[in-house]
Amino acid sequence: MTNSKEWFSIKELIDKNLNDLPTSDKGIVKKAAREDWLKRQREGVKGKTFEYHYSSLPKDVQKQLGFNPVEVAATEQVYSDIREAEAHYGGDTVTVSKARLLTAITTLDEILDMTHKTMPAKARAQMVWMIYELLSEESANEKIINLVKLIA
């Protein structure tokens, strides 16, 4: 890595004339939203001004900024049954409902959109699991409303 800066404002990205990036504020904001770039509110700046983490930018842009993007090989382990998977993961597996999991993900996305907040990936995963578990309980609606209040 030849660049020590990790976060870039829209203006910085535009000023660098990077290939594969729009040349307008609006264009970058749309691309960032479409590709789910990791963002945070800029400190010391009034209004809704974000900066984006280099790791979520397109690989070519990362290279132009002086970073060496790490390619993660997609590996998929196929297990013949749940016992084999549990043995591999040390018994830390559960069977989940795909519909309920998708509902939990969608619910968190809607909460974050309504509150205009972002969340690191690990925290998002934990929140999705909390919502997933709440959806299986009788008093889920009340608990989810309290969860929304907590996030907001």
- Per-residue pLDDT reduced to its tens digit, 117-148: 888 888 888 888 888 877 776 556 666 666 66
Q: Are residues 98 and 145 in the same domain?
A: yes
pLDDT confidence of residue 69: 74
Q: Tell me the C-alpha distance between 143 and 141, whole Å.
A: 5
Where b means 16+ CB within 10 Å and e means fewer, 57-76 reads: bbeebbebbebebeeeeeee
For 104-121, write each residue's pLDDT tens digit.
888 888 888 888 888 888
| Domain shared by 60 and 97, yes or no | no
Instruction: Indicate whether 76 belongs to any domain.
Output: no
Residue 17's nearest CA partner among 67, 66, 64, 69 is 64
56 and 13 inside one domain: yes
**Domain count of the fold of the chain:** 2
Residues 14 and 57 both lie in one domain: yes
Mean pLDDT of 16-23: 90
In terms of domains, do 11 and 58 share one? yes
**Which residues form the domain of 119?**
93-151
3 band by pLDDT with thresholds 50, 70 and 90: low
58 and 18, same structural domain?
Answer: yes
Question: Is 127 part of a structural domain of the chain?
Answer: yes
* CATH value at residue 38: 1.10.10.10
pLDDT per residue as tens digits for the range 90-107: 666 667 777 788 888 888
Residues 99 and 147 in one domain: yes
The per-residue pLDDT for 30 is 92
The reply to whether 97 and 147 lie within a common domain is yes
Residue 133 token pair? 């578990």
